Structure 1
Amino acid sequence: MAASPDAKRQKSSQGKDVPYQLIYWPGIPGRGEHVRLALEEAGAAYTDTAQDGSGGMEAVTAQISDSNLGDDRNPPPFAPPILRHGEGEDALVVWQTANILAYLGPRLGLVPDALEDPDGAYRVAALAMTALDGLSDEVHDCHHPVASGLYYEDQKEESLRRSKDFVQNRLPKFLAYFERVLAGKASGDGPWLYGGRLTYADLVLFQCLDGLRFMFRKAMRWAEHSGKYTHVFDLHDAVKMRPRIKAYLDSKRRQEYSMGIYRYYPELDLGDEM
């Protein structure tokens, strides 16, 4: 029996051996950083438009332009990060951070083996999406609580109110949740969130914690010294010392925090306790 088109497509997409292309804005780590960390940890071959200067900006705008209608198989992406994998008609265009990580996870060995743990990838995805929801998306809304199209200076009063609530209520809630996950049996041995081994969910949580340390310095310093979230900060340190991650963090490829998700405004750097 001849293989169906869907089966051929699945086999072809699984067999791609060309480098990945990450399409993201230059100048900010942003949501693209979660994808970079996965690629770097795995030692995968990839290109990154963020390293292309003005050419990188053009690559992003071309993807999200109203004139881009996609191709025969790929709808046009809404916003970066965007991952392109494959060549010609076989190329796959994936967007949405969590979706990209779900695609890369099994290909880069950053989720449990499907034969050994058939449901593990879904559990890893849930952990990663929880971190992205509470410690990335909600963080962005601390400095842009009214509208993303307005300047921070146009919503400073609302930003301060939102940041106070985040620091006092939301941040400790999410830190306590991940501390509970790490203390649970499903996390396994060692510092990781699931199954006793590093997955892309650990990389996502690391990046969120790292950005929070930049943005809410007082609150995160208190959180670390409080002793309430020991496992969480141990995970951060364990990821940071992974050989490939350490080399990446020390390289020029690691962009500095600036005007992306994690921004430092002294007036929003609230509290030494939560």
Structure 2
Amino acid sequence: MAANKKKKPRLKLSTGRPPVTSKPKSISRQATRALINKIHQLEKRKQQAARNGDGAAEAKISAEISSLGGLEKYQQASLQGQRNDRGGDSSKVLMDWLKAIETEQQKTTTSTRQWSSLRMLEVGALSTTNACSRSGMFTIERIDLNSQGEGILQQDFMERPLPKDDAERFDIISMSLVLNFVPDPEGRGDMLLRTLEFLRCPVGLNSETSEADLSFPFPSLFLVLPAPCVTNSRYLDEEKLGAILASLGYTIVKSRTTHKLVYYLLKRAKVQPPLLGSKASFTKRELRSGPNRNNFAIVLKSSSSKG
């Protein structure tokens, strides 16, 4: 019987990120990288098959993923990569940045803004003992799609209830290796836009952010992506990512690129994002050609151009 054409289902964030497991067995560095890359590629193909309504292809890819140990094995590899001898957790970079900024602020300004009792929302949390947790700087709420650990709420960020008031908002949101697991480019744009709902509004800023404003880097977003998402994508480079972030009212305070990862500390510098109410949009347009490029993209549309 021929399949009827159906409206493409909206893919949930939970279809992209694998579940959390605990106490992974040791995996070699090479095997860790190979397994993560292989299953990640299979998951993307599986999502594409689901979007196309190709149940046979989806089942075949699922069987291939299972033959590799499934998503549980994937998560073991991901957690293994957070060991100190594999580079450690990405929040160490954030804490190094914040400590340096705080020290410089104390030396050069008379600001009375307090670096205590700061609220953090950690999206995609895997641990309650990372550098941010040990710093004593934050009161942290941790969420993950498939949490199996105490202190981490099982919750989809895209379905988290919106804050009722400023007391329920946060000074900083951490999204380390989260955006790249969102199944589609539009969903990634929606996720970045949604971060504004959970951050406190910047106070006392002019229309243009000055260097003095950046001495207090909150409210902010800590964003970490695999480096190839920015350095080797057909559809996204650093300039375009910067433009997308600026359209949301974010200013880059700190950034760092390594062979594997890109890190950004982004201050919410404007109360009203420039994108909202405008006709600006960011589509999936090729910026770099070549057979070895990946297809990572972020699509973001203004409120006036949606629908």
Larger relative strand fraction: 2
Which structure has more RCO (C-alpha within 8 Å, separation ≥ 6)? 1
Fold conserved (TM > 0.5)?
Answer: no
Alignment TM class, shorter chain as reference: 0.3 to 0.5
Larger relative helix fraction: 1
Normalising by structure 2, we get a TM-score of 0.31
